[in-house]
Amino acid sequence: MFLYWNWGYFLYVALPIMVLGFIASSWVKRTYQRYSQVRNANGLSGVDVARRILSGAGLSDVTIQVIDGELSDNYDPRTKTLNLSRDVATGTSVAAEAVVAHEIGHALQDHQGFFAMRLRSGLVPAANLGSQAGPLIVIAGLLLSVFTGSVFGFYVAVAGLLLFAAVVLFQLITTPVELDASRRALRLLAENGVIYPEEQQGARRMLRAAAFTYWVALFGAVLTLLYYASLVFGNRRSD
Ligand SMILES: [Zn+2]
């Protein structure tokens, strides 16, 4: 594992990803905290907002479920369930509205058979495998070529790279899916009379902060792939 945990990896990959990840998550938390203090003018709870938007958008087959955790809200396309964290479900804030509307944005994507969303769901197993096994296979291939001097190790490393590329592809598709859900969210809030114009700004800020986390995840995946590619191909040149 000496190649994996070297200084180059730490300085050029792990550190920037850590720093950006920290900035992204604190931005989301700060914005969420700020707008969870701002009561929405309608006084609607997250669940009320969800019911109103779902019926307005004709999504009567979606069930609402309250789950544990903070900002763990999600939409599950397999069971057509809108999972809302307790704070969001009971909250009557602008933040809660924005989160609910974003997740219903995903429900709407699902309902309309949005291609990128289907593609993304299909890529989940490959991306999971790629993020776990990809780097290990690259390292194994590199060690093999160092110790045996055979070209076989190089091909193993390239196979590891291709596997990890599934993670990049997954993030590449995730980002537009998320941005689209947030665009739909703002429209749903406005169309269903849930949000007042002066609250739009807050919802938009919330969704913008959330969007940044997806850009960071994409950047991190690309950076990691480039790093491993430089190990594989840099190593080859010096042969
Ligand atoms: Zn989302």
pLDDT tens, residue by residue, 4-22: 557 788 888 899 999 999 9
Sequence-separated (6 or more) residues with CB below 8 Å from residue 205: 31, 35
Evaluate whether residue 1 is within a structural domain: no
**C-alpha R_g of the chain:** 21
Q: What confidence tens digit (pLDDT) does each residue in 155-206 have?
A: 999 999 999 999 999 999 999 999 999 999 999 999 998 888 888 999 999 9
Q: Which of 70, 97, 103, 199 is catalytic?
A: 103
Q: What confidence tens digit (pLDDT) does each residue in 127-152 have?
A: 999 999 999 999 999 999 989 988 99
Average pLDDT of span 32-37: 93
Average pLDDT of span 80-104: 96
Q: How many residues does the chain have?
A: 239
To the nearest whole number, what is the mean pLDDT of the chain? 92
The identity of residue 128, as a single letter, is: N
**Ligand 1 centroid, distance to 74 Cα (angstroms):** 7
CB atoms within 10 A of CB 7: 7
**What is the structure's pLDDT at 236?**
54
**What is the structure's pLDDT at 21?**
95
Average pLDDT of span 78-91: 96
Evaluate whether residue 87 is within a structural domain: yes
Tokens of 188: 């749903």
**Ligand 1 centroid, distance to 211 Cα (angstroms):** 9
**Ligand 1 centroid, distance to 119 Cα (angstroms):** 15
Does the pLDDT at position 234 exceed 90? no
**Ligand 1 centroid, distance to 120 Cα (angstroms):** 12
Instruction: Give the integer Cα–Cα distance in Å for 88 and 133.
Output: 36
Evaluate whether residue 145 is within a structural domain: yes
| Known catalytic membership, residue 103 | yes
**What is the structure's pLDDT at 239?**
44
| Block residue for tokens 């969420």 | 32
Instruction: Give the integer Cα–Cα distance in Å for 131 and 121.
Output: 16
Residue 209 belongs to domain spanning: 7-237
Under a CB-based contact definition with an 8 Å cutoff, are residues 17 and 223 in contact? yes
Task: Assign 87 a pLDDT band (cuts: 50, 70, 90).
Answer: very high
54 three-state secondary structure: helix
Instruction: Give the integer Cα–Cα distance in Å for 153 and 148.
Output: 8
Evaluate whether residue 21 is within a structural domain: yes
Nearest to residue 64, comparing CAs of 43, 40, 46? 46
Evaluate whether residue 161 is within a structural domain: yes
Ramachandran area for residue 82 (φ above 0: left; ψ -120 to 50: alpha; else beta): beta
**What is the structure's pLDDT at 70?**
87
Q: Counting Cβ atoms within 10 Å, is residue 112 exposed (0-12), middle (13-18) or buried (19+)?
A: exposed
**Ligand 1 centroid, distance to 16 Cα (angstroms):** 24
Evaluate whether residue 32 is within a structural domain: yes
**Ligand 1 centroid, distance to 102 Cα (angstroms):** 6
Evaluate whether residue 195 is within a structural domain: yes
Evaluate whether residue 224 is within a structural domain: yes
What total number of domains does the chain contain? 1
